Amino acid sequence: MSVRTNAESLRQIPLFADCEPAHLQVMAFASERAEFAAGQDLFKAGGKGSAAYLLLAGDADVWVSKGEERVQVALAGPGAFLGELAMIAGLPYSVTVTAKTPVTATRISRETFMRVVEEFPEFGNRVMGVLSRKLAGSINDFDRIRHLFENAASFPRG
């Protein structure tokens, strides 16, 4: 895949939709192609958020452990961008992602992402703006759910 094609794939991700094509091309140029066999982990919950992965081909299970049980929370396919919040914030991954079929992905390291942010502050501002809006939406969703639970608790049981 060409750098231009990879950059256009990145543009399809909401996190990067408003970014300049040149900035995405720099990131695409510096990213790496990664291949995973079926059953191979792209990353594991608790591991250092050192990279994010844009799935180009194949499917991957996204799951968490509940004791000895493995609980699937999503099935990711081509176009999915996985691990981005852990990568950007340098936090541990919150889920494990395992290739269900052979997977081809673009791997964007934290170092690559941060280098683009440092060289192009407007890129960083746009990405952080998207993350801020996403976080605000999540907080509003949690507030609505909290309100529902509080109201449900006030109903008499019987």
- The model's pTM is 0.81
* pLDDT of 87: 93
Fold of 3-153: Jelly Rolls (2.60.120)
Instruction: Give the Cβ contact number of residue 150 at 10 Å.
Output: 9
SS3 category, 108 = strand
CA distance 109 to 76: 20
Question: Roughly how many angstroms between the first and final C-alpha of the chain, as a whole number?
Answer: 63
The single-letter code of the amino acid at 31 is S
pLDDT along the chain (158 residues), means of 10: 82 90 91 96 96 95 92 93 92 96 96 93 90 80 80 64
- Give the residue among 58, 54, 59 at the shortest CA–CA distance from 10: 54
And the tokens for 32?
């790496």
Instruction: Identify the helix (H) or strand (E) that includes residue 121.
Output: helix 121-153
- Residue given tokens 């720099």 in the structure block: 26
Distance CA 15, CA 74 (A): 19
